[in-house]
């Protein structure tokens, strides 16, 4: 529980409050299959498709609220938008992003994003924190994925490893920018709550992806082109 007038850096608070959820997400079956290279390619591509819908919704809300929020303007830099990386990966796998149907977990996730944007836009930073922070672990997953599906260079793994050698530097810059903001206690509570809910939402999506309950046609082999939004 957050103390009144908490003076700890917000990134400390975020890490501490979500560590158990992080570890639960990291050790979930979906991640295990992914890291061990056992996840069928079609399920991997479907996970990219679902995260594309989520990032598109979150980043569109951040883009509209950022000009009115000094904190969002200072923290969220354009390279952190993951939608272009996802579009590149989906195009590589020949997945038409106009035919993606959201899984129930994705629909709920997007509803949470829209509710946060309507009620307390700064809470979007808590959601962004979880997804931006996930790049720390995804970098390792990208290595396993490249091996498992014989992918070369960054083909198909831009979303998992968007920053390459700059991962550490970019993560530090994100943490510094968050810690430099003068959030009110109410804002801090909203950001931490949004982060907690986001971990739960990611876990639910992983469970549905793991169950293979995709309602959409899936790609089976990499090829170039395919996405109407790309190129």
CB of 172 to ligand HEM, least distance (A): 9
Which one-letter DSSP state was computed for residue 198? H
176 binds ligand HEM (CB under 6 A): no
Taking CB under 6 A as the rule, does residue 202 contact ligand HEM? yes
Supply 74's token pair: 């200072």
Asked if 15 touches ligand HEM (CB under 6 A), the answer is yes
| Structure-block tokens of residue 131 | 């997804």
Site membership for ligand HEM, residue 25 (CB under 6 A): yes
Q: Considering beta carbons, is residue 123 or 227 the nearer one to ligand HEM?
A: 123
Q: Which stretch binds ligand HEM (CB under 6 A): 22-30, 62-70, 97-105, 158-166?
A: 22-30
Regarding 26 and contact with ligand HEM (CB under 6 A), the answer is yes
Angle at 134 between CA 88 and CA 197, to 5 degrees: 110
C-alpha 142 chain-centroid distance? 14
113 binds ligand HEM (CB under 6 A): no
CA-based torsion, 34, 91, 205, 187: positive or negative: positive
* Residue with token string 């490249």: 146
Phi-psi label, residue 77: left if phi above 0, alpha if psi -120 to 50, beta otherwise: beta
Containing H/E element for 70? helix 70-75
Count of beta carbons in the 10 Å neighbourhood of residue 57: 21
What's the rounded Cα separation, in Å, for the pair 85 and 88? 5
Q: Compute how many residues bind ligand HEM; rule: CB under 6 A.
A: 17
Q: Which is nearer to ligand HEM, 71 or 141 (CB)?
A: 141
At its nearest, how many Å lie between ligand HEM and the CB of residue 220? 24
Whole-angstrom distance, CA of residue 104 vs CA of residue 75: 30
CB 73 to ligand HEM: min, Å: 21
- Can residue 29 be called a binding residue for ligand HEM (CB under 6 A)? no
Site string for ligand HEM, 34-73 (x = CB under 6 A): -x--------------------------------------
Q: Which is nearer to ligand HEM, 37 or 226 (CB)?
A: 37
The b/e string for 58-87 (b: 16+ C-beta within 10 A; e otherwise) is bbebbeebbeebebbeebbeeebbbbbbbb
* 126-145 binders of ligand HEM (CB under 6 A): 129-130, 133-134, 136-137, 140-141
Binding site residues, ligand HEM, CB under 6 A: 11, 14-15, 22, 25-26, 31, 35, 129-130, 133-134, 136-137, 140-141, 202
């Amino acid at each position: 529980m957050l103390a009144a007038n908490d003076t700890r850096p917000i990134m400390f608070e975020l890490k501490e409050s979500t560590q158990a959820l992080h570890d639960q997400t990291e050790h979930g079956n979906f991640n295990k299959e992914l890291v061990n290279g056992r996840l069928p390619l079609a399920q991997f591509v479907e996970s990219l498709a679902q995260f594309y819908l989520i990032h598109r919704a979150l980043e569109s809300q951040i883009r509209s609220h950022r000009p009115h929020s000094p904190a969002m303007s200072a923290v969220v830099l354009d390279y952190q938008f993951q939608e272009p990386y996802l579009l590149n990966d989906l195009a590589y796998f020949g997945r038409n992003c106009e035919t993606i149907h959201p899984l129930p977990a994705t629909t709920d996730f997007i509803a949470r994003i829209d509710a946060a944007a309507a009620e307390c836009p700064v809470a979007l930073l808590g959601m962004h924190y979880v997804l931006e922070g996930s790049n720390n672990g995804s970098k390792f997953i990208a290595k396993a994925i490249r091996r498992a599906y014989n992918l070369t260079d960054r083909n198909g793994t831009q979303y998992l490893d968007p920053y390459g050698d700059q991962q550490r530097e970019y993560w530090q810059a994100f943490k510094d920018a968050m810690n430099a903001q003068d959030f009110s206690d109410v804002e801090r509570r909203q950001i931490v709550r949004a982060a907690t809910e986001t971990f739960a939402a990611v876990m639910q999506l992983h469970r549905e992806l793991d169950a293979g309950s995709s309602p959409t046609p899936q790609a089976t082999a990499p090829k170039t082109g395919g996405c109407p939004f790309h190129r």
